[in-house]
Amino acid sequence: MPNLTLIQAVNAALRQEMERDETVVCLGEDIGRNGGVFRATEGLQEKFGAERVIDTPLTESGIIGTSVGMAANGLRPVAEIQFEGFLSSGFDQIVSHVARYRTRTRGSYPMPMVIRSPWGGGIHAPEHHSDAPEAWFVHQPGLKVVIPSTPYDAKGLLISAIRDNDPVIFFEPKKIYRSFRQTVPDEEYTVPIGKASVLTEGTDVTLLTWGALTRPCLKVVEALREETSLELIDVRSLSPLDDETIIGSVQKTGRAVVVHEAPRTCGVGAEIAARIMEKAFLSLKAPVLRVTGYDTIMPLHKLENHYIPSQDRIIACIRESLAF
Amino acid sequence: MATARETVVNRPAAKKPAAEPAPSVKSTMPTKTVFSGSIQYVQILNENGDADRAALPDLKDAEIVKLYEAMTLVRLFDQHAFLLQREGRMSTYAPSSGQEAIQVASALALKPTDWMVQAYRENGALAIRGIPLENVLLYWGGDEAGNFCELDKRTLPIAVPIATQLLHAVGVAHAMRIKGEKDAVIAFSGDGSTSEGDFNVALNWAGAFKLPVVFVVQNNQYAISLPRSQQTAAQSIAQKAFAFGIEGVQVDGNDLFASYKIASEALKKARRGEGATLIEAVTYRLSDHTTTDDASRYRTQEEVESWKKKDPILRLRKWLTAQKLWDDAKEAALAERNKAEIKAIIHRFESAPQPDIADMFRYTYEEMPPHLQEQLDAAKKAAGQ
């Protein structure tokens, strides 16, 4: 079995699904001849041709809006938006149509499409290239939102997303695109959408996170090993959320800390905290705490490390929870 | 594109186009013209009901009579839908009175394997396409079941955000290209849509990929209250086609014959793989924007009356009468038939069952996730079910 980086796992998933199902097509800016600015679609146009791996004109609204029509006419488009910050150019098509078409047409015209986009900060990129806007899409009914944090999950979740008959926003944490390798099966497999992943089992505090922050959180689990037993959960599927795993864990530990790089107010941490309060209130020994990006615009990279939750901030928050 | 004689239509005083484009830099450097173009206006049947016989489209007399009958039914339907709203039996409705010719003509030119993409005012097109008109009432009456989306109709549902549906049309056409289908897509929008980003994105994409889309912009002179002259400084909407490397033509949208001929030719061209066309259909919105609008706030009754003289139904009746294909007795009989049909349509609309609370939930996703099931249970409980 090969050891793949996350970006290679994405490429493998696209390649295998396009082989298996001729209705799967890829479209986006610079994804064909150039193989994508992160090389996610490297080699695909060579293999499948320019009709199925489409270099589009420069328009996010166009990429997403035409994907709606392609889906209506029997294709399964996988649209790439070059950076998460440019999703806003196609936002109208996403929330006005992609999310609504199944409802609007009573199921006659579902939207079996994937919108995949490099997501999140930490690579010293310009403005609009480091954001975490998942909450906008989690808040929109009719969409699914997934964020893998490992190569294994990336391939399995992307295959699930492509096969899903509902629209999936697939965020790829660009900070960890190439930062580590993992054994990824050669053959096709799926990771189910709607299920979180318990990375480490523990008894004292439930630590909930997703995306690139799973890496520092794993280090925090190790750093605090003598002090406390942490249950680290990669939420992975932000919409729909895996209530069963999340609530089950908090009922066991009695304490919860949510860590996300997105801005604090109305981030998905707020939704998770609300659900924990509703369903596990009597299990709680401390309020649900959050370590998040600030309610400011994501800074340019000189201040990036002060914005994105650091190991120190996460550790301080866990101790705050334990001391309550 | 076949042309008939040019006719000056109701337009503000146009600037004379320059014979030779002036160089942008006054110098002695040699220049060459890299682009020039012109837009043709097409009319066959004028407002007096006179038509150039030689230019008539390929339609049998019986077909033309049927189209006349369809237009009158749609007009009557419009009037009754308005009344239903005023009586509180239906909510906000977007009337299409005045625009029957271009809509009926465009839909008629479609094959069953072509696709139709609408905005929200295309009742005439829906009727010809075979969509039951009670579905229109159901939709505006507050029930998604009115979105008539049997797959074999190849007709996309009502799209409210202006111009966004044009990208869907382009996507349908792009899928045709990928699948090797030799069909075409017609995409309706209005003069207001041409200011939206998606209009430009859609035409550009259709041009860049040479897709089989026919864009029919119904220039009914108003985007709610904004007159066409304030929407864009372009002399015509049709000329915007040049910006995207596609063909553009302006047609009298109240002329059934010219509308049908132009639409047919554009669709045939598209099916042959020769690319997209922008048709600007010059027409007029005889009613208000919707039943919540009051057009008298921003336009004069004189203007409305002047356009009533150009009514698409009126001129066709004149032509049919002159051809001895129509008379008062036939008109009276038609009025009775239409009245009965409208009554049946309204009855079917009002007999539709109240939607189930579960309908709010069951179409959000293919499979209902646990959190939605919980919410559905709570909603039912709150409703005492």
Residue B6 is predicted with a pLDDT of 39
CA B134 to chain A, closest CA, distance in angstroms equals 16
Q: Per the CB < 8 Å rule, is A142 touching B364?
A: yes
Cα diameter, chain B: 85
Average pLDDT score over chain A: 97
- Chain A residue numbers with beta carbons less than 8 Å from the beta carbon of B204 are 57, 59, 62
pLDDT band at B151 (very low <50, low <70, confident <90, very high): low
Domain range annotation of chain B: 37-287+299-354
As beta bridge partners, residue B155 has B116
The residues near A126 (Cβ < 8 Å, ≥ 6 apart) are A300
**Distance from C-alpha of B99 to C-alpha of B287, rounded to nearest angstrom:** 10
Q: Is the pLDDT of residue A312 over 60?
A: yes
Cα diameter, chain A: 60
Residue B168 is nearest to which of A51, A57, A65, comparing CB atoms?
A65
**How far from A123 is each of A81, A87, A205, A300, CA to CA, in Å?**
18, 19, 30, 10
Q: Per the CB < 8 Å rule, is B198 touching A65?
A: yes
Q: What is the mean pLDDT of residues B245-266?
A: 98
Residue B20 is predicted with a pLDDT of 60
**Distance from C-alpha of A78 to C-alpha of A91, rounded to nearest angstrom:** 16
Residue B3 is predicted with a pLDDT of 40
pLDDT band at B152 (very low <50, low <70, confident <90, very high): low
Q: Per the CB < 8 Å rule, is B370 touching A243?
A: yes
State the catalytic residues of A: 129
pLDDT in tens, B216-225: 999 999 999 9
The residues near A300 (Cβ < 8 Å, ≥ 6 apart) are A126, A127
CA B260 to chain A, closest CA, distance in angstroms equals 25
CA A65 to chain B, closest CA, distance in angstroms equals 5
pLDDT in tens, A111-136: 999 999 999 999 999 999 999 999 99
Q: Per the CB < 8 Å rule, is B172 touching A73?
A: yes
Residue that the structure tokens 């230019």 belong to? B55
pLDDT in tens, B153-174: 799 999 999 999 999 999 999 9
- Chain B residue numbers with beta carbons less than 8 Å from the beta carbon of A88 are none
Q: What is the mean pLDDT of residues A274-301?
A: 97
Q: What is the mean pLDDT of residues A163-169?
A: 98
Residue (of A116, A167, A69) closest to B366 by Cα position: A167
Task: Please tell me which residue in B5, B86, B272, B298 is annotated as part of the active site.
Answer: B298
Q: Is A184 helix (H, G, I), strand (E, B) or coil?
A: coil
pTM for this entry: 0.94
Task: Please tell me which residue in B121, B129, B289, B315 is annotated as part of the active site.
Answer: B289
Which chain A residue has its CA at the smallest distance from B373's CA? A240
Q: How many CB atoms lie within 10 A of CB A264?
A: 15
Is the distance from CB of B110 to CB of B267 less than 8 angstroms? yes
Domain B37-287+299-354 part of CATH 3.30.450.270: no
Q: Is the pLDDT of residue B10 over 80?
A: no
Interface test with B, best of A21, A24, A54, A66 (most B CBs within 10 A): A66
CA B155 to chain A, closest CA, distance in angstroms equals 10
**Distance from C-alpha of B35 to C-alpha of A302, rounded to nearest angstrom:** 49
Residue (of A70, A258, A80) closest to B156 by Cα position: A70
pLDDT in tens, A210-257: 999 999 999 999 999 999 999 999 999 999 999 999 999 999 999 999
| B272 among known catalytic residues | no
B115 and chain A in contact, CB less than 8 A: yes
The dihedrals phi and psi of B58, each to the nearest 5 degrees, come to: -80, 75
**Distance from C-alpha of B187 to C-alpha of B169, rounded to nearest angstrom:** 6
| B371 among known catalytic residues | no
Residue B1 is predicted with a pLDDT of 44
Residue B2 is predicted with a pLDDT of 40
